[in-house]
Amino acid sequence: MILFPPAKINLGLNVLYKRDDGYHEIESCMIVIPFYDVLEIIPAEKFEFRQTGITIAGDSEDNLCVKAFRLLEKMYAIPAVSIYLRKIIPMGAGLGGGSADASYVVKGLVQLFNLPISEKEQQEIVGQLGSDCPFFISAQPQLATGRGEVLQPIAVDLKNHYLKLINPGIHIGTKEAYDGIQFSDDSTSIAAILAEPIQHWKSNLKNDFERTAFINHPTLATIKTTLYEEGAIYAAMSGSGSTLFGIFEHAPTLTFGSFNYLEKIMKL
């Protein structure tokens, strides 16, 4: 079985307050984009996890793919499998690649072993692995609230638009992202803003993580400015960074080839 876990971008991200359980209450819209890791899951005599592509440091047992398998193994006594991950989506980039990988391991195991687990139950299971994980079970545009795991379908149609994705290779960890965060005081919901024409998003749709990220890494602010100079209708940082994206009506061109950045253009 071969699966293709997708990346996501955030259309707006409000950090509202810090909750009593230590998590932050957020509001964001997440959509998948055509940028994928590659995941293979096959039955095996003993469990094996292999990974190529972008190097993932640390013990393999700490990898979210392995944690996803261990969780289902404990809950449903499933047999051993061999998991191979080709890592293409950069980490610490606000694209949710690790969360997508873990969620697709669960989706793949449910299919492989015909487990009687509903989509909602899968979301509850992967929610134990990370706040973004439940989103990738359905992989449809979702308005995320709570710590990101409370999902509500939302109509967002970017068909026939182009997406330009730029990642300068800066890793922004969770602690750095939340240090210095200023809680959003917006009274207008992201859902209401997304219902407006896309031409209005530049003025109204924001990502609360940009302020600190741009201070710590001025390159990110420069990239956003460049995207608008190139004609983006809307440009923003995805998640807690460091990937920037621009949405265009017409196909943009590559700009940062001499900077050794990850730069991709895709049609939505």
Q: Which residues are catalytic?
A: 8, 132
- CA-wise closest residue to 142 among 154, 131, 132, 134: 154
Q: What DSSP line would sit under 9-55, residue for residue?
A: EEEEEEEEEE-TTS-EEEEEEEEEEEEE-EEEEEE-SS-EEEEEES-
Which pair of structure tokens corresponds to residue 125?
């299971």
C-alpha distances in angstroms, 38 versus 88, 189, 242, 265?
8, 35, 22, 19
In contact, 106 and 120? CB cutoff 8 Å = no
